[in-house]
Amino acid sequence: MPELALPFVTTGAAAAGGAQAILPLVATGLAYDAGGQRRLGPLDLTIEPGRRTVLMGPNGSGKSLTLRLLHGLLQPGAGRIAWAGRPADQAIARRQAMVFQRPILLRRSVQGNLRHALQSRGIHGAAQTARLAAALAMADLAGFADQPARRLSGGEQQRLAVARALSLQPEILFLDEPTASLDPQSTWQIERLLQAAHAGGTTIVLVTHDPGQARRLADTVVFLHRGRIVEQTPAAQFFEQPASPQAQDFLAGRIVL
């Protein structure tokens, strides 16, 4: 995949102006209940800084739940999430971002969506102008800046969503199947952005059903089944010699419930 240099400094604490690092992210005994049933966990998981961690598993295995709990969109029923040894707070929340399977875009222009995100983080003036222009360029959307964002194609909308998230210079970026409904070309464009973000120092946590995408992007694979982590291993080892019967069946294309 050709290299793409992003115009944002994201490496380590530089993204937060020298603030204390927020990674590693450590979940201990994490669990989530809904409707009187255990939906996830308990599970233990560590996200190391600078790594690309890919969550895989069959439908209903708990991948998206895990992502939402780590990002703070849901509160766990049990367990603890620690950011470099301390609980989440507003400052930590501002140093992470999330991209969903279906882009969540405001009823504004393309650049209006970017500007709103930057303003929400207190980025104004020349810094905002520079980041906005850079985000449009990285997403190849400069020619669409004044168009309504919701009139873009699916691939263009998702590129905007990823560029918007990266314009905030997150130390960690969560993505929930961001290319699930995209064609190969659009998928390649999103993956190119993620590779460049990783090269710049952003920690990536990605949910995907696509083994090919996981092979291209993952440093570590976390495989979930029935709400529990079955394997957490280096990507090459996972794809060459998965240890669990569930992962073996999944990679072989057999249904795993």
Which pLDDT tens digit goes with each residue over 219-250? 999 999 999 999 999 999 999 999 999 999 99
Banded model confidence at residue 13, pLDDT cuts 50, 70, 90: very low
Residue whose pair of structure tokens reads 């279906």 in the numeric block: 102
Token digits for 47? 């996200």
Query: How does DSSP assign 107-130, residue by residue?
Result: SSBHHHHHHHHHHHTT--HHHHHH
User: Where along the chain do its domains lie?
Assistant: 12-106+170-251
> Could you tell me if 116 and 109 are in contact, meaning their C-beta atoms sit under 8 angstroms apart?
no
What pLDDT is attached to residue 6?
61
What pLDDT is attached to residue 254?
84
Q: What is the pTM of this model?
A: 0.93
Q: Is the pLDDT of residue 4 over 90?
A: no
- Greater confidence (4 vs 129) lies with 129
Q: Which of the following CATH numbers is that of domain 12-106+170-251: 3.10.20.440, 3.30.379.10, 3.30.70.260, 3.40.50.300?
A: 3.40.50.300
Banded model confidence at residue 18, pLDDT cuts 50, 70, 90: low
What pLDDT is attached to residue 14?
45
- Contacts of residue 158, defined as CB under 8 A and 6 or more positions apart, other chains included, come to 99, 103, 178, 179, 182, 186, 190
